[in-house]
Amino acid sequence: MTRYWRPRLSVPAALLCAASVLAPAVAQARDLVVYGEPTLERALKSVGSLWQARTGTRVNVFVAPADLSYAQIERGARCDVIFAPAGAVTNEAARSNIIQADTIARAFRNNLALVGNEPGVQPPANARLADLERLITGKTLAIANPDRDLAGAHAVPFLRKLGIMVDDGNKRIRVAESSAGVVNMLATGRAQLGIVYATDAKAPGFKLVVPLAMPDQPPIEYIVARARDPESDTQPFMTFVKSAEAKAAFKSAGLALIDDGVSQQGRSRLAEEDASTRQRDERRQ
């Protein structure tokens, strides 16, 4: 906010104004700042509301793809806790001390879902590939950009199993920037079907929702970790996200709980992955 200098302002009044400017910053430091993927926004805000009701501490949720969130933290943006997909980007953030590696804990999983806005016949509860192929044939299908979004990256091999190739020549496939973009394509009639995260499939209005939990296609797993320089005490909140109350909220948002994921020490896991990577590199040479 731009502030204009008034020459006649007395010293006591100036001090009062300074205090009013600093007070929100001090209060904000007592809040909790949580980063997460865009598809987790509804789930994280729900859990944040539960935490605020229990403790009186407000949870500020900011969403962006993990690589952008890590870049913001590295540039000094405030973050106390982050929920991010497990994998190479998160491992590199731990090695670079953008997040505290020894606080990394498995949080939950997110599957994919086939969704549509047009009324139609629901496939069987345990739909097979043949059922899904019949459902998709002849329709325009939207997926997220495989190069930028995990939902899109996981959708490509699934579609290949159906004999559907994702390339510039396939006019039946529309590519959106993100899973949220797929939802928008369906809402605006640019696609009849879409493949999105299970969390996005929870949005109201879909007349068709088919889970795509394939045995040979692992779900997308997320971790929770403390940022490198939190301004609030994060431990109570990180303990709360494992509570029955928080787990119920995550499940209601479409996430699958990880029953065996108490906490894996980040550094030991990263060391194991580094060793595995080195072995693969050595075999290739």
- The answer to whether the CB of 81 falls within 8 A of the CB of 69 is no
Supply the pLDDT for residue 135. Answer: 85
Mean pLDDT rounded to a whole number for the chain: 82
Q: How far apart (Å, rounded) are the C-alpha atoms in residues 137 and 127?
A: 15
Per residue in 52-107, pLDDT (tens digit) is: 999 999 999 999 999 999 999 999 999 999 999 999 999 999 999 999 999 999 99
**14 pLDDT higher than 60:** no
Supply the pLDDT for residue 132. Answer: 86
Task: Look at 53-67, 137-151, 182-196, 268-282 and tell me which has the smallest mean pLDDT.
Answer: 268-282
Domains and CATH numbers, the chain: 12-109+219-284 (3.40.190.10), 112-211 (3.40.190.10)
Question: Can you tell me the mean pLDDT for 194-215?
Answer: 87
Out of 85-99, 134-148, 212-226, give the one with best mean pLDDT: 85-99
Retrieve residue 199's tokens.
Answer: 């969390």
Model confidence, pTM: 0.77
- The answer to whether the CB of 223 falls within 8 A of the CB of 206 is no
Per residue in 27-54, pLDDT (tens digit) is: 344 799 999 999 999 999 999 999 999 9
Specify which residues 226 forms β-bridges with. 81
**9 pLDDT higher than 50:** no
Supply the pLDDT for residue 272. Answer: 52
Burial, 4: exposed, middle or buried (Cβ in 10 Å; 0-12, 13-18, 19+)? Answer: exposed
Contacts for 119-124: CB closer than 8 Å, 24+ residues apart: 119/207, 120/207, 120/208, 122/208, 122/210, 123/210
Per residue in 221-266, pLDDT (tens digit) is: 999 999 999 999 999 999 999 999 999 999 999 999 886 433 444 4
pLDDT > 90 in the chain, percent: 60
Retrieve residue 149's tokens.
Answer: 């979004």
**4 pLDDT higher than 60:** no
Chain centroid offset of residue 250 CA: 12
